[in-house]
């Protein structure tokens, strides 16, 4: 009797393991189908596959990240539509759910930073970009993003921060942009924002001589950005690439 019970227990364990393994395989299959739909910009279809993958394997973080990104892709900035707002809320909810279990998930942090920036919640976007930069110190993109968002906050004419805070944001932005350019010396967008931040610093500086020096620095970075763009375009043309004018 005891031997029979042990045998039944062993069979049940094996059955449970087989079911779990099967569920994980089905979850992976749904993820792969969702990724294909995502790459084809079929985001609603992708959402259904990713939701099924998470249902089959609740700890499947990759599927959750893709689910959040699929919601994000259906969000249209500045569109006052119920559907766009719903997708924004679902993206934020999904990314926050990931961070509740994995606080350092870079993809979820980057997703939240993007969402908050496009929802014009710039202070929240700034904090998530800074967290992204902290966790991915060799990636110039979040470093650049901090600098660009700092400028957006300072440049806000409708609800500007106090001048002391503006100066602190300008200095922070310049520091992060310097780090981005140190990693990618041809980061023309970072150079362009250095130009903009120096102009804001000049505006906030009462001393005329210091103001003139800051304007000179802004002009230098503006010219560097133009020269870098020209260099990049010429390099692409030299290998047969076609470069569209971004202006």
Question: Is the CATH number 1.10.10.10 carried by domain 139-247?
Answer: no
Asked whether the beta carbons of 63 and 92 are under 8 A apart, the reply is no
Residue ranges of E strands in the chain: none
Q: What is the pTM of this model?
A: 0.84
CATH architecture assignment, domain 13-119: Alpha Horseshoe (1.25)
The span from the CA of 69 to the CA of 184, in Å, is: 26
- pLDDT (tens digit per residue) in 177-209: 999 999 999 999 999 999 999 999 999 999 999
Tens of pLDDT, residue by residue over 210-230, are 999 999 999 999 999 999 999
Angle separating helix axes 43-56 and 61-73, nearest 10 degrees: 160
* CA 212/CA 224 separation, integer angstroms: 18
Ranges of each domain in the chain: 13-119, 139-247
> Using CA atoms, how far apart are residues 18 and 15, in angstroms rounded to an integer?
5
Same fold, 13-119 and 139-247: yes
């Amino acid at each position: 009797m005891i031997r029979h019970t042990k045998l039944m227990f062993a069979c049940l364990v094996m059955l449970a393991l087989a079911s779990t393994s099967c569920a994980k395989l089905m979850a992976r299959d749904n993820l792969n189908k969702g990724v294909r739909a995502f790459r084809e910009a079929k985001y609603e279809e992708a959402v259904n596959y990713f939701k099924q993958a998470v249902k089959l394997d609740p700890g499947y973080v990759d599927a959750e990240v893709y689910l959040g990104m699929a919601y994000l892709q259906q969000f249209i900035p500045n569109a006052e539509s119920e559907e766009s707002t719903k997708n924004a809320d679902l993206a934020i909810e999904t990314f926050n759910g990931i961070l509740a279990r994995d606080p350092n998930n870079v993809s979820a942090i980057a997703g939240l930073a993007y969402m908050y920036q496009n929802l014009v919640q710039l202070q929240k976007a700034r904090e998530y970009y800074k967290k992204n930069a902290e966790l991915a110190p060799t990636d110039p993109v979040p470093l650049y993003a901090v600098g660009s968002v700092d400028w957006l906050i300072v440049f806000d004419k409708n609800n500007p921060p106090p001048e002391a805070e503006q100066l602190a944001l300008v200095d922070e932005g310049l520091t992060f942009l310097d780090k981005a350019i140190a990693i990618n010396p041809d980061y023309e967008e970072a150079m362009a924002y250095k130009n903009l931040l120096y102009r804001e610093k000049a505006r906030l500086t009462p001393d005329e001589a210091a103001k003139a020096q800051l304007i000179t620095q802004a002009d230098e970075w503006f010219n560097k950005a133009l020269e870098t763009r020209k260099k990049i375009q010429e390099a692409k043309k030299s290998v047969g690439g076609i470069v569209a004018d971004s202006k």
